[in-house]
Amino acid sequence: MKQLGRLLMIAAALSLLMLFAFPMWKIILYAPQYPDGVEMHIWINKIGGSTPATLQNINILNHYVGMKYIEPDDIPELQYFQYVIMGMIALGLLAAIANRKGLFLTWTILLVVLCLIGLYDFYLWEYDYGHNLSDTAPIKIDGASFQPPLIGKKDILNFVAVSLPHIAGYFVGLSILLGFSAWWFKGKNARNEKTTL
Amino acid sequence: MKNRFNVKQALLTIVAISLIAILYHSCTSNMKPTAALSGDEAQAVYVPPGEYDEFYAFVSGGFSGQVSVYGIPSGRMLKVIPVFSQDAEKGYGYNEETKPMLNTSYGFIPWDDAHHPELSQTNGETDGRWLFINGNNTPRVARLDLTTFETAEIIEIPNSGGNHSSPFTTENTEYVVAGTRFGVPYPQKDVEISSYAENFKGALTFISVAPEDGEMDIAFQVLLPAFDYDLAHSGKGKSHGWTFFTSYNTEQKHTLLEVNASQNDKDYIAAINWKKAEEYMAQGKYKEMPANYAHNIYDESSHIATSTMKKSVKVLLPEECPGLVYFLPTPKSPHGVDVDPTGEYIVGNGKLSADLTVHSFDKMLKAIENKAFETTIEGIPVLRFEDVLAGVVEKPGLGPLHTEFDGKGNAYTTFFISSEVVKWKVGTWEVLDRAPCYYSVGHLMIPGGDSRSPDGKYLIALNKITKDRYLPTGPELTQSAQLYDISGDKMKLLLDFPTIGEPHYAQGIAASKIMPKSKKMYPIEDNNHPYAAKGEKEARVERDGDEVHVYMTMIRSHFAPDNIEGIKVGDKVYFHVTNLEQDWDTPHGFAMMGARNAELLIMPGQTETLLWEPQHEGVLPFYCTDFCSALHQEMQGYVRISPAGSNVPLKWNLGEDEVIQ
Ligand SMILES: [Cu+2]
């Protein structure tokens, strides 16, 4: 049990690997004529969907109201954020090797800060797509915004848009929990050692 | 005391008599059967909006040459699948890709008379993979793919005439069959018609079906006397390995058949031992005969059909192949031949007979073993009627045509002349129930009713005549299908609904066997059409002499390119149009003004080609025909046509980016 803190720290770092196996976020559009829903998946390094053509189908919907074409190559975050994550995994493993309580806490707080920055960045993109509409849009609705919710549910014209974490998103949450527990157990072990001495 | 009792009795008698009178009155005043429906029937066929039917029914389109698809029990039509006839609605047989589907040894034939849909089977049960149907007039068999509900393959039947006893399947779809209804010279030659008996033959064709992809190939023909081979069904269970064909005109007449072909007391059911045929084929006991027939296959990834001519066919002669064919005498001019789910009973529906004849497969085997033959015809042993007879359903009705089974030991036979379906018990041959048909029923269908495991819930009668049953539509009236509930002891009429063409036969299958496999689109990355433009960047126009190839794309809600100049009078312009959509239910249409063929109707991920030969100078529009989106009306474009020999350069554009070649 002495190694519990360190093991939790390793698990916290490795949980982030799931970002390369699963999408971290999803935006689902519901309308009666889309019985299966249109489900867009945001990965750490790409944009996909529940079908290979989801992005094309969303872009077709967006073009009626003049929203920008979502072109993953034009979103720099999709290029570099994966390296930030790889760095975090490396740092987490280094912290586990060092096995220092303070490092566990620092790493975890750093991850929380990164998540908040990521969410804010996501919000900015959503705002941009929802508000910067083409002047030549076939359908113009005064004062309307098509910005999807950051998290939760929102009506957008004939659609209900739902925005929620996807599998890898939950693993990031797990990673934070594991990081904090690593710090806590490490502290507890240290205290126990003191009392037995 | 005694007196009071009598009064009571008298009162009761009066009440009873009045009740009977009222009942009698209401019965006779309600001769119209629809009025007798109580309202439960409406519930039984009502499928609420947005919900699904329990069964698919595939109904032949008869002389329309097509297959129609209905939901059962609602009777709602879901699709018409073009098979043997051009269909301007879908561009089938008009676009360049599907024209080869209608190629035959006589060239392009845009029509046929489609009779008998037949579902593929595995272990004697419908498996929902393919639907086969025969073309009667220019003998052909088609295979439809039930993941796309499109015609995937058509094979012509050589040296045959009137492909009526077709395309009934064997238990594992080893073969579908194609027996000739008309005797013809074999092979075709110029002879006097009166030389019928010596020069004419009747070929029964066995078409093998590849288990993986369903591809058909003519495995062999069995050459029989020139009787008229009317219908067929293969054995199942213990009789698996045999196929039975009915015949009439065993008199071998060639004129005034309505009299001349109705003289013999008994005609024959030809029992073919196709497992034996396989042995003879393996031993090389066949003759290679000259033939000329088309084999047309539609490739789902290139979206293009190809037609190949084949030049010979392998033929087995019964004289040289003992044990291959036996004749079972059957009264009079039997029409349908139907094998019960156990494979033991073979029902010969003698259409001019007063009784219904049922043969026993076990007795047939015993008679063959005992070699107690009545006679032989051209080397074919004729078994004795008494030796093979299992039983007779006595005087069940007039003009029996077809029988299907409910899997609960009951059989249902249609009677054309007395216009009814009669339910009888297999084994005891007693009549259990009868229900009128409106009018003149031909085939009937129970889902799986000709397989080893029928779904004995519904029965559909396919009627030839409707007279006063619907609002009139001038001299030509609809034919109809009538739905009966057969889950109880008595048949109960639930619904009738109109059909396209003549609904000869139909097949039914649980929706759950097909629905999960139904395709939603064609993946664009799998499209290997040589003229596909798989993105707007690939859209372009190329000239090669007077041939112009337009690589066009379509997506909500524009064509690329949508302005084309440099086309000249006398050009052959091929519009190769690719639908870039990858979403469910997003076809687009393409219509070019002045094109003398039809529209294109292109499914997501598909490429189709329209040939257009501009005749006059001018600027002509094209547009999308299938209301695809909020901006569908904007989905349009122009082609400028300049005089022959003009030097207007070829150029095209979508929006501002103009390309000049
Ligand atoms: Cu369209």
Same-domain status, B509 and B529: no
Q: Are the beta carbons of B582 and A51 separated by less than 8 Å?
A: yes
Domain that includes residue B598, residue range: 524-660
* A196 part of a folded domain: no
B6 pLDDT above the threshold of 80: no
Nearest by CB to A52, which of B581, B582, B634?
A: B582
Cβ separation B582–A57 shorter than 8 A: yes
All residues of chain B having their beta carbon less than 8 Å from the beta carbon of residue A51 are: 582
Ligand 1 ion local residues (Cβ < 5 A): B 588, 624, 628, 635
Q: How many residues does chain B have?
A: 661
Distance from CA of A23 to the nearest CA of B (A): 21
Strands B547-555 and B200-209: unpaired
**Nearest Cα to B469, choosing from B506, B445, B434, B499?**
B499
What does the pLDDT look like over B568-612, one tens digit per residue? 999 999 999 999 999 999 999 999 999 999 999 999 999 999 999
Q: Is the pLDDT of residue B126 over 70?
A: yes
Type of residue numbered B392: V
In this predicted structure, what is the pLDDT of residue B24?
47
- Beta pairing partners, B247: B229
User: Would the pLDDT of B173 be above 90?
Assistant: yes
Of the candidates A53, A138, A139, the beta carbon closest to that of B583 is on A53
Query: Would you say residue B4 lies in a domain?
Result: no
Are B194 and B342 in a shared domain?
Answer: yes
Find the radius of gyration of the CA atoms of chain A: 21
> Do B338 and B406 touch, CB atoms closer than 8 A?
no
Q: Which residues share a beta bridge with A186?
A: none
Q: Are B349 and B372 in a shared domain? A: yes
Measured between CB atoms, does B583 come within 8 Å of chain A?
Answer: yes
Separation of alpha carbons A103 and A113, rounded Å? 15
Interchain contact A143–B (C-beta under 8 A): no
On the question of a cis peptide bond just before residue B73, with omega within 30 degrees of 0, the verdict is yes
A138–B582: do the CB atoms touch at under 8 Å?
Answer: no
Domain boundary residue, one of B484, B517, B550:
B517
Q: Is A73 on the interface with B (CB under 8 A)?
A: no
> Once rounded to an integer, what is the mean pLDDT over residues B481-498?
96
pLDDT, residue B236, reads 96
Provide the shortest C-alpha distance from residue A131 to chain B (in Å).
22
B589/B493 same-domain check: no
Cα(B608)–Cα(B551) distance, rounded to whole angstroms?
A: 10
The answer to whether residue B342 sits within a structural domain is: yes
Q: Is residue A114 part of a domain?
A: yes
Pairing mode, strands B103-104 and B431-436: unpaired
Total structural domains in chain A?
1
What is the domain-level CATH number for residue B422? 2.130.10.10
Based on the fold, state whether residues B484 and B558 are members of the same structural domain.
no
Tokens of B364: 């047939």
Contact between residue B184 and residue B227 where contact means Cβ atoms under 8 Å apart:
no
When CB atoms are compared, the residue of A53, A56, A64 closest to B630 is: A64
Residue A139 placed within a domain: yes
Burial label for B14, CB within 10 Å (0-12, 13-18, 19+), is: exposed
Using left for φ > 0, alpha for ψ between -120 and 50, and beta otherwise, residue B65 falls in left
Q: What is the pLDDT of residues A102-129, one digit of tens each?
A: 999 999 999 999 999 999 999 999 999 9
3-state helix/strand/coil string of A152-171: EEEEECCEEEEEEECHHHHH
Task: Give the pLDDT mean for B87-104.
Answer: 98
The number of domains in chain B is 2
Work out the average pLDDT over B60-65.
97
Predicted pLDDT of residue B27: 44
pLDDT at B26: 47
Domain assignment of residue B118, yes or no: yes
Q: Which residues of B touch A57 (CB under 8 A)?
A: 582-583
First to last CA, chain B: 118
The DSSP-derived string for A109-157 is HHHHHHHHHHHHHHHHHHHHHHH---TT-SS--TT---PPPSSEEEEET
Give me the mean pLDDT over the B486-494 stretch: 96
Q: Does some domain include residue A71?
A: yes
| C-alpha of residue B602 to centroid of ligand 1, in Å | 10
CB contact under 8 A, A138 and B630: yes
Comparing alpha-carbon positions, the chain A residue that sits nearest to B584 is A34
Q: What does B171-223 look like in DSSP terms, one character per residue?
A: TTSSEEEEEESS-EESS-----GGGHHHHEEEEEEEEEE-TTT--EEEEEEEE
Chain A residues whose beta carbon lies within 8 Å of the beta carbon of residue B582: 51-53, 56-57
Tens digit of pLDDT for each residue in B212-258?
Answer: 999 999 999 999 999 999 999 999 999 999 999 999 999 999 999 88
Asked whether the predicted pLDDT for residue B21 surpasses 80, the reply is: no
Inter-chain CB pairs, A–B, below 8 Å: 24
The whole-angstrom separation of Cα B73 and Cα B512 is 15
CA B476 to centroid of ligand 1, rounded, Å: 35
Cβ(B499)–Cβ(B482) below 8 Å: no
Q: What is the pLDDT of residue B1?
A: 40
pLDDT of res. B10: 57
For B582, which of A53, A138, A139 is closest by C-beta distance? A53
**Average pLDDT of the residues of chain A:** 92
* B473 and B549 share one domain: no
B301 and B375 assigned to the same domain: yes
| Distance between first and last Cα of chain A | 17
A53 to chain B: closest CA residue: B582
pLDDT (tens digit per residue) in A9-38 = 999 999 999 999 999 999 999 999 888 889
Residues on chain B touching A53 (C-beta within 8 angstroms): 524, 582-583
How would you classify the pairing of strands B228-234 and B216-225?
Answer: unpaired
Task: Determine the average pLDDT of the residues in B141-161.
Answer: 97
In the DSSP assignment, the letter for residue B543 is E
CB-based contacts of B173, cutoff 8 Å, min separation 6: B120, B121, B122, B127, B129, B130, B209, B211
Residues B648, B653, B655: CA angle, nearest 5 degrees: 140
Say if residue B627's pLDDT is above 60: yes
Q: How far does B630 lie from chain A, in Å, by closest CA?
A: 8
Does a structural domain hold residue B29?
no
Query: Which one, of B332, B380, B327, B391, lies nearest residue B357 by Cα?
Result: B391
- Tell me the average pLDDT across B299-318: 97
* Residues B448 and B596 placed together within one structural domain of the fold: no
**How far apart are alpha carbons A175 and A156 in whole angstroms?**
33
* CA-based nearest residue to B135, from B120, B149, B114, B155: B114
The 10s digit of each residue's pLDDT in A127-175 is: 999 999 988 888 888 877 899 999 999 998 889 999 999 999 999 999 9
| Segment A83-94, tens digit of pLDDT | 999 999 999 999
Q: Do A57 and B583 touch (CB under 8 A)?
A: yes
Looking at residue B13, its pLDDT comes to 58
What is residue B15's predicted lDDT score, i.e. its pLDDT?
55
- pLDDT of B88 > 80? The answer is yes
pLDDT for res B243: 98
Check whether residue B450 and residue B558 sit in a common domain. no
Contacts of B43 (CB under 8 A, 6+ apart): none
Which of B455, B485, B517 is a domain's end point?
Answer: B517
The span from the CA of B245 to the CA of B226, in Å, is 13
Domain's final residue, options B517, B551, B572? B517
Question: What pLDDT does residue B39 have?
Answer: 67
Is B16 a domain residue?
A: no
Indicate yes or no: CB of A138 within 8 angstroms of CB of B583: no
Asked whether B565 and B484 are in contact (CB, 8 A), the reply is no
CA of B590 to the centre of ligand 1 (A): 8
Q: Tell me if chain A has a CB within 8 Å of the CB of B259.
A: no
Q: Are B338 and B359 in contact (CB under 8 A)?
A: no
**Residue B555 touches partner A, C-beta closer than 8 Å:** yes
What residue type is B254 in one-letter code?
H
Q: Comparing C-alpha atoms, which of A161, A84, A90 is closest to residue A115? A: A84
3-state secondary structure of B306: strand
H or E element in which residue B276 lies: helix B274-282
Q: Give CA–CA dist B239/B385, Å, rounded.
A: 19
Which residue is listed with tokens 């004419």? B200
Contact B54, B43 (CB under 8 A): no
Q: Token pair for residue A63?
A: 């073009």
**What is the Cβ-side half-sphere exposure of residue B95, based on CA atoms within 13 angstroms?**
28
Query: What HEC string does B565-594 produce?
Result: EEEECCCEEEEEEEECCCCCCCCEEEEECC
| Residue B11 included in any domain | no
C-alpha angle with apex A108: A102 to A112, nearest 5 degrees?
145
Is B475 in the same domain as B443? yes
The answer to the question of residue B422 being in a domain is yes
Q: Is residue A197 part of a domain?
A: no
Chain A residues whose CB is inside 8 A of the B628 CB are none
Query: Nearest-CA distance from A60 to chain B in Å?
Result: 7
CATH of the domain at A165: 1.20.140
Judge contact between B310 and B293, C-beta under 8 A: yes
Instruction: Return the pLDDT at B37.
Output: 58
**Same structural domain for residues B400 and B545?**
no
* Of B582, B584, B634, Cβ closest to residue A56: B582
Residue B649, domain CATH:
2.60.40.420
* pLDDT, greater one: B328 or B38: B328
Q: Is the separation of the CB atoms in B619 and B640 below 8 Å? A: yes
Residue A85 CB coordination number (10 Å)? 22
How distant is the alpha carbon of residue B330 from its chain centre? Answer: 27
Residue B151 and residue B142: Cα distance in Å, rounded? 7
d(CA B598, CA A79): 49
Q: What is the pLDDT of residue B608?
A: 98
B41 Cβ neighbours under 8 A, 6+ residues apart? B492, B493, B494, B495
Same domain, B479 and B372: yes
Which pLDDT does position B205 carry in this prediction? 98
Residue A184's domain spans which residues?
Answer: 4-191
Report yes or no: B515 at the A interface, CB cutoff 8 Å. Answer: no
Is residue A134 less than 8 Å (CB to CB) from chain B? Answer: no
CA B194 from chain center: how many Å? 34
- Which of B524, B556, B584 has the CB atom closest to A60's CB atom? B556
How many A from CA of B624 to the centre of ligand 1? 5
Chain B residue at shortest CA distance from A32: B50
**What mean pLDDT, rounded, does chain B reach?**
93
The answer to whether the CB of A37 falls within 8 A of the CB of A30 is yes
Q: CB of A21 within 8 Å of any CB in chain B?
A: no
In this prediction, residue B656 has a pLDDT band, given cuts at 50, 70 and 90, of confident
Quick check: is A64 in a domain?
A: yes
Q: How confident is the model at residue B28 (pLDDT cuts 50, 70, 90)?
A: very low
